Amino acid sequence: MEKDVTTERSQRVEALVDGILAHVRAVPPEALQRRTQEGEWTAMELLAHVAEILPYWARQARDVSERAGDGELFGRSTVNPEEDPGRLAAITGHGGDQLTTIESLLQTGLTQAIADLRAIHHERWDRNGTQANGQVTTVAQIVEQRLIGHLQSHAEQLARILQQP
């Protein structure tokens, strides 16, 4: 029997977070705070960002799925999402935390994200909303690009950061 799309996407998110946690648990704690290049996040800052995007993008997807009509605005409040205050607050507020604190934030974020993903009715994955930059995006695309794809790219970034001396 084929898995439903909600279960499949939820499992992918869980697997990505599990992989990220396994990776960071295997390195010395000091490696998580090391800045390898000017202007690049430390592993801990990256983990703080991941803890923020998990519930954020899952909730955005759920909200778009529950709206009465298509096309309403969603997502980061600015055209340049890198300037979003909520995104920046997570990095500055938790980028210096201990791994156990970040693990707790990641687990809480994951739990919230999975609950929101599972709340999306199977007939609403094709609903759409409009981002601040004008791009129209379906619920499925929000989850695939903003959540799963985003997690994948940060898992790769984390591996690269922790590989450097």
Q: What pLDDT sits at residue 73?
A: 87
Q: What per-residue confidence (pLDDT) applies to 36?
A: 82
- State pTM to two decimals: 0.89
| pLDDT attached to residue 2 | 44
Q: What is the DSSP string of 99-165?
A: HHHHHHHHHHHHHHHHHHHHTS-GGGTT-EEE-TTS-EEEHHHIIIIIIIIHHHHHHHHHHHHHH--
| Per-residue pLDDT, 58 | 97
Give the pLDDT of residue 92.
75
> What are the residues whose beta carbons fall under 8 Å from the beta carbon of 147, sequence distance 6 or more?
13, 53, 54, 57, 58, 61, 113
pLDDT at 94: 74
CB crowding 104-128: b at 16 or more within 10 Å, else e: ebbeebbeebbebbeebeeebbebb
Kindly list the averaged pLDDT for each block of 10 residues, start to end, along the chain of length 165.
78 97 93 87 93 95 91 73 65 82 96 97 93 91 96 95 79
- The full set of domains in the chain, from first to last, is 5-163 (1.20.120.450)
